[in-house]
Chains A and B, each alone.
Chain A
């Protein structure tokens, strides 16, 4: 392993990456070093996923890979090759907002909105795994994500609202 020295290397050759994004197969070229968050935003063009701290602390870049929320700034696009990705754009189904989206609207779960996509993706996952979470379980679930506006109170309420108003195709436990 070499340690950091300024790089004068020419742009490396691109590679082809194919993944399923919100149910659709997408094939694009990127560099092997391209981070998943930049692939999704800048190459695929889905800007709903936000790019925040770059250090896997803030969680605004959370999306799902193979059904689990991950911080997409800490994964290479190449590592998602062949995997199934779900972004915040994939929450809405057939023109119907997901209950988690309705919850954020009903309970004023955002102010500036920067953390919202990551919060909603993790919120959806919390409810998929535990349809009736306690307040403590919700707070624990989102503890890897930062919000500098709401003090988290309304985010917790929004996820609780979604738990109380499941979509018709969800089975209420």
Chain B
């Protein structure tokens, strides 16, 4: 039987400011718990041993999906199921629905949160690939104020992010790109598993030329879940099959996967190329200017 180590304190935060105050009170031995679907398994395995848990499930201020100016803003406490079901997100980026549909399973999606997924920073996290592809940003708050960090600077490495002690990720933001097409491709061993490899892309085609694009890859050791060289190659070129193949080849070359129980490294590289190509093709097809 797996049971977490004894916890000194369990407290419910009543506001973001209160959550920060509680984090400061308990210091580095405190952890926020949202959906708990990463933290509690880690606590049961004693990989994580916080002394205080600060429950942020009551923070309604972090539960909205909205448009602010030219950005989509998703609160940290928004559950995976709400992202999957959101007509607003689907309207701007079909990638949200495609990506969420392959994250965990329906029951887990009822609990798991957007903020939790980003802060857990699993190297196979699908939302991290999506966030990097769309060049989103995260907002981090502490007792002195807030700062906005681009997704492509958010990770120090696997499971390590810019969110420090006494800080909370409050929302993630994505630029709206009119006419963008987007798609998500994932290969997993079985429903609900982490990716063997997954790739998300968006493409904006204007006048027969790729005006902008983004490619995000999870589980293949791409730094910050992206390979900018592949994007730079494609921007300004016609979205021909030949150019898409070349971009996908560059994306795969920029990955550094490890062999593990989900597959050998060369297979994951193969998938990185193939899935990038498939996602790019569909993004181009659904871009309104194509």
Chain A residues with a Cβ under 8 A of chain B: 1-5, 7, 9, 11-12, 15, 31-35, 38, 54-57, 59, 62, 68-71, 74-76, 78-79, 81, 122, 140-141, 143-145
Using Cβ atoms and an 8 Å threshold, which residues of chain B touch A5? 49
Does chain A have a CB within 8 A of B50?
yes
A-B contact pairs, 25 of them (CB 8 A): A1-B29, A1-B49, A4-B45, A5-B49, A12-B7, A15-B10, A32-B10, A33-B5, A54-B1, A55-B2, A59-B107, A75-B36, A75-B40, A76-B10, A76-B33, A78-B55, A79-B36, A81-B12, A143-B105, A143-B106, A144-B104, A144-B106, A144-B107, A144-B108, A145-B107
Does chain A have a CB within 8 A of B44?
yes
- Contact pick for A4, options B36, B41, B49, B50, CB 8 Å: B49
19 new A-B contacts at CB < 8 Å, known A12-B8, A76-B10, A78-B55: A1-B29, A3-B46, A4-B46, A7-B6, A12-B6, A31-B6, A31-B7, A33-B4, A35-B3, A38-B3, A54-B44, A56-B37, A59-B105, A68-B110, A76-B53, A79-B33, A79-B57, A141-B106, A145-B105
Interface centre among A32, A56, A59, A144 (most CB of B within 10 A): A56
Instruction: Kindly identify, within residues 190 to 207 of chain B, every residue whose CB is under 8 Å from any CB belonging to chain A.
Output: 191-192
Does chain A have a CB within 8 A of B241?
no
Classify the interface of chain A: helix, strand, loop or mixed. loop
Closest 5 CB pairs of A and B: A144-B105, A4-B46, A32-B10, A32-B7, A33-B4
Using Cβ atoms and an 8 Å threshold, which residues of chain A touch B97? none
- Contact pick for A143, options B1, B47, B57, B192, CB 8 Å: B192
Give Cα A59–Cα B109 distance, bound, in whole angstroms: 13
Contact A11 B41 (CB under 8 A): no
Does chain A have a CB within 8 A of B61?
no
Chain B residues with a Cβ under 8 A of chain A: 1-10, 12, 28-29, 31, 33, 36-37, 40-41, 43-51, 53, 55, 57, 104-108, 110-111, 191-192
Using Cβ atoms and an 8 Å threshold, which residues of chain A touch B41? 55-56, 74
Using Cβ atoms and an 8 Å threshold, which residues of chain B touch A68? 110
**Closest residue of A by beta carbon distance from B57:** A79
Using Cβ atoms and an 8 Å threshold, which residues of chain A touch B45? 4
Give Cα A51–Cα B55 distance, bound, in whole angstroms: 24
Using Cβ atoms and an 8 Å threshold, which residues of chain B touch A62? 107
Q: B72 to nearest A CB, angstroms? A: 24
Contact A32 B9 (CB under 8 A): yes
- Contact pick for A3, options B8, B12, B47, B110, CB 8 Å: B47
Using Cβ atoms and an 8 Å threshold, which residues of chain A touch B55? 78-79
Q: B203 to nearest A CB, angstroms? A: 28
Interface centre among B46, B53, B57, B111 (most CB of A within 10 A): B111
Give Cα A38–Cα B44 distance, bound, in whole angstroms: 13
Give Cα A56–Cα B45 distance, bound, in whole angstroms: 13
Using Cβ atoms and an 8 Å threshold, which residues of chain A touch B2? 54-55
**Closest residue of B by beta carbon distance from A13:** B8
Using Cβ atoms and an 8 Å threshold, which residues of chain A touch B48? 1
The answer to whether residues A144 and B7 also contact, given A68-B110, A70-B111, A74-B41 and a CB cut-off of 8 A, is no
Give Cα A141–Cα B50 distance, bound, in whole angstroms: 33
Q: A139 to nearest B CB, angstroms? A: 9
Using Cβ atoms and an 8 Å threshold, which residues of chain A touch B57? 79
Q: A33 to nearest B CB, angstroms? A: 4
Give Cα A11–Cα B8 distance, bound, in whole angstroms: 10
Contact B106 A140 (CB under 8 A): yes
Using Cβ atoms and an 8 Å threshold, which residues of chain A touch B9? 32
Contact B6 A11 (CB under 8 A): yes
Q: B234 to nearest A CB, angstroms? A: 34
Using Cβ atoms and an 8 Å threshold, which residues of chain A touch B31? 1
Give Cα A57–Cα B37 distance, bound, in whole angstroms: 11
Using Cβ atoms and an 8 Å threshold, which residues of chain B touch A12? 6-8
Contact B28 A1 (CB under 8 A): yes
Using Cβ atoms and an 8 Å threshold, which residues of chain B touch A54? 1-2, 44
Using Cβ atoms and an 8 Å threshold, which residues of chain B touch A35? 3-4, 40, 44
Give Cα A141–Cα B48 distance, bound, in whole angstroms: 31
Give Cα A35–Cα B33 distance, bound, in whole angstroms: 14
Contact B111 A74 (CB under 8 A): yes
